[in-house]
Structure 1
C-alpha cells in the first residue's frame, strides 16, 4: 500500500504540470478547454470555473488529459461533424481552427512543462546539496579486471568513451549502462599524453534500486577522488540544464537500441515498476524523491515528443505535414493514423505491463 501511495504522490503533480502546460497555452490563444482531468475513468469529484472548464479528478491515477473545444476525445482527435457545425464564434474557441504555430505551441506546452519541472527540481537539489563530482582519475584497478588486462594504470584520467567525450562519473556510468558492444574504446590522459585503448568489458547481473535484475558492463576501475562545491543560482541552472540534456540523449539512445534490436525491451516499465521505484526512492528521503520526480517528468516529456500518433509528438508530426502541404490532412486519413497510433500504444502498454508482471512477487506485496 505504501508503494501505491507514493506512486500517486509522485506521479500526480507531474501529470498535473504536463496538462497545465497544454492548458496555459490553450487559454493564451483563446481556446476553450472543456475538461481538465487528473486520472481516467469514473469521476470522483469535479467543479467548473468561470470559463466553463470542468476540472475533475478521476478514479484511475495513470495520467490525465485536457479536452479542447472541438475534440472528439481526450487525445485531441478532431470531431469532424462537430467542427463542421461550428459558427464563427465557436471556431474562435476551437483548437483545430487556430493558426498552425498556435496549435503546435499548445501541443508542445505539455512536454515543455515537464522539461521545465525537471530543470527546476534539479536546480533545487543542486542549490540545497551542492555539487559533488567524482573525478575520472583512476585511483584503483581490480586484479584480473578488463582494465588491468588492457594496460590501464592508476593515475590515468578517462576522457573518452567510444570516441565520445566523457566529463563526469554520471556520464561514464550512463554510457556503460547503455553499452551493447563487446569492445569499448577508451581515451585517457597519462601524464601529458593522450592515449587510447580497447577494453573488453565484463558483463555482470546487477539488481537496481527497484529490485530489477539486468546486465551491466564493468571495467574494474575505482574512482576515489571527489570534488565537492557549493554552487550559486546561475551555475546550478547551467548544471541542471546539462543534466537534462545528457539524460535526454541517453534515453533517446536507449530507445534507438530497442528499436534496432541492440537492446531488449526489459527496461520498459509501467505503473507497477514506477510504484516500485517510488517506494524505493521514498525510503532514501526527500532529496531522492525530488530527483526521482525530475527523472519521471523528463521521461514523460521526452516520450510524449516521440512521433507516435495519439501522443503530443504525433500531433506535432501531423502539424509538420500540414505545414508542408499547406492544408490539414483529410479527417479520414487522420482518424486512420490515430487508430494505428492507438494500436501501437496499446502494444507498448501491454509490453510494459508484461515486464511489470515479471516482478510478480512485488505485485503480491503491493497491498500488504
Structure 2
C-alpha cells in the first residue's frame, strides 16, 4: 500500500468510527429530550459551518457540517447542562414565534427528566454496542476453543512457573479458558499481580500460580503496548463455531458489553491505585492508529480475495466501533461537571435539596475540570504517539 493511501487511511477510518459513536450518543440525548418535550434548536453531524441543513416539523435544524467529527445536540436554553456545541446566538429564543423550536426550554424540565436525558447518551452507546456484538454473534459466532501451550519462551515467567508445551488451559483466575480473549484479558490486565492458572497435562490437572511481568511489546497491528506478559505461544483449535440465534445473540451482546464495562472499571481501578499508568488509556491518536492499522493489515492480507478482505474489514471495524462505543459511554458516566455523569450529580443534588448549585460554583468546577481533562488529553496523546511509533518519526526530523 502506497504511503499516500496509508496517510489517508488513518484519518478516514478514525472519522468513520468516532462519528458513528458520537452521533449515536447525541441521538440518545435528543430522543430522551424530545420524549420529555424539550425544544431542540439543532442536531448537528460534524462541527463548523453547515454544508446542508433541513428544518423538521418541530422547527429543529438538522445540520451536516463541514468538519465530520462526531456531532452535538443543542437544546433551547440548555445553558451547558448537557454538552453543548451550538451557536449561542441562535438557540431558538430570538426567532419569530412561528420559527421557534417546538417544546419547552431545557431548564424547564424537572431535575429527574434532565437526569434521564443525561443518561440517555451513554445508554445509547451501550445499546449500539449490544446490537453490534449481537450481529457478530450471529454472523461469526462465539467460537469455543481448545487452547494449549505451543511453546514456552526461555527465561520467561511461564518457564519459571513450570508451564510446559502441550499443557491445555482449563481456567484462568476462575474463568473458563475456552476462549483466547479470556486468557489474554486475565494476563494482560494482571501485570505484577498473581494469576491462578489451571491446566490439563495429560490426564492430570495442574494448578499453577504466576505473576505476569509488565513488558513493552508490539501487537499484531504493529502498535506498542505495555502489558502483562508470561512468555508463551498459544496453539488454538476451534471446538465449536457456536453461531448464535437472534435471542442468544442479544444475550451475547449484553454479556460482551458488560464484560467490556467491567474491564474498563478494572483498568480505572488499577490506574487510580497506581498499578497501571495513565498511558494505558487511549485518545483520538490511539483510536486512529488502531483503526488505520487494522484496515491496513486487513487490506494487505495475501492470498485472500478482495471481497473477503472487505468483509473482514467490515467485521473488525464493527467490533472496534462496539468497543469504542462502550468506552465513550463509560467515560461520559464519570462524575465530572462537564460530562453526563456530572450532570446526573448536579441534578440529583437539585432533586434532593430542591435548589440547584450556584452559577459561580458550576462555572468554577467546569473550568477546573476542563483544565484537568486538557492536561490528561495531552498526557494520553503523547502516550498514543509513542505507541504508534510517531515520536520516533519526529525525533528523526
Displacement of 1:143 in angstroms is 5.8
Moved more, 107-116 or 274-283: 274-283
2:186/2:195 contact within 8 Å kept? no
2:39/2:101 contact within 8 Å kept? no
Corresponding position: 1:274 with 2:287: yes
Return the alpha-carbon distance in structure 2 between the equivalents of residues 51 and 143 of structure 1.
Answer: 65
Return the alpha-carbon distance in structure 2 between the equivalents of residues 143 and 57 of structure 1.
Answer: 54
Return the alpha-carbon distance in structure 1 between the equivalents of residues 340 and 372 of structure 2.
Answer: 14
**Map of 2:210 onto structure 1:** 199
Corresponding position: 1:173 with 2:184: yes
Return the alpha-carbon distance in structure 2 between the equivalents of residues 181 and 21 of structure 1.
Answer: 40
The counterpart of 1:224, out of the listed 218, 236, 239, is 236
Corresponding position: 1:122 with 2:133: yes
1:117/1:297 contact within 8 Å kept? yes
Corresponding position: 1:294 with 2:305: no
Spell out the pairing of 1:124-203 with structure 2 (5 A cutoff).
124-135=135-146, 138-142=148-152, 144=154, 145-152=156-163, 154-155=166-167, 157-161=169-173, 168-181=179-192, 183-187=194-198, 196-203=207-214
Return the alpha-carbon distance in structure 2 between the equivalents of residues 94 and 166 of structure 1.
Answer: 53
2:39/2:102 contact within 8 Å kept? no
Spell out the pairing of 1:1-368 with structure 2 (5 A cutoff).
1-73=8-80, 75=83, 93-135=104-146, 138-142=148-152, 144=154, 145-152=156-163, 154-155=166-167, 157-161=169-173, 168-181=179-192, 183-187=194-198, 196-216=207-227, 217-220=229-232, 222-227=234-239, 228-283=241-296, 284=298, 285-358=313-386, 359=388, 361=390
Return the alpha-carbon distance in structure 2 between the equivalents of residues 223 and 120 of structure 1.
Answer: 31
Displacement of 1:114 in angstroms is 0.8
Moved more, 309-318 or 264-273: 264-273
Taking structure 2 as the reference length, the TM-score comes to: 0.78
SS where residue 143 of structure 2 aligns? strand
Displacement of 1:155 in angstroms is 4.8
Displacement of 1:202 in angstroms is 4.5
SS where residue 211 of structure 1 aligns? coil
**Map of 2:305 onto structure 1:** none
**Map of 1:86 onto structure 2:** none
Moved more, 252-261 or 229-238: 252-261
How many residue pairs get aligned? The number is 355
What root-mean-square deviation, in Å, do the aligned CA atoms of Structure 1 and Structure 2 show?
3.3
Displacement of 1:343 in angstroms is 1.9
Structure 2 residue runs without a partner (length 5+): 1-7, 92-99, 299-312
Taking structure 1 as the reference length, the TM-score comes to: 0.84
**Map of 1:85 onto structure 2:** none
SS where residue 244 of structure 2 aligns? coil
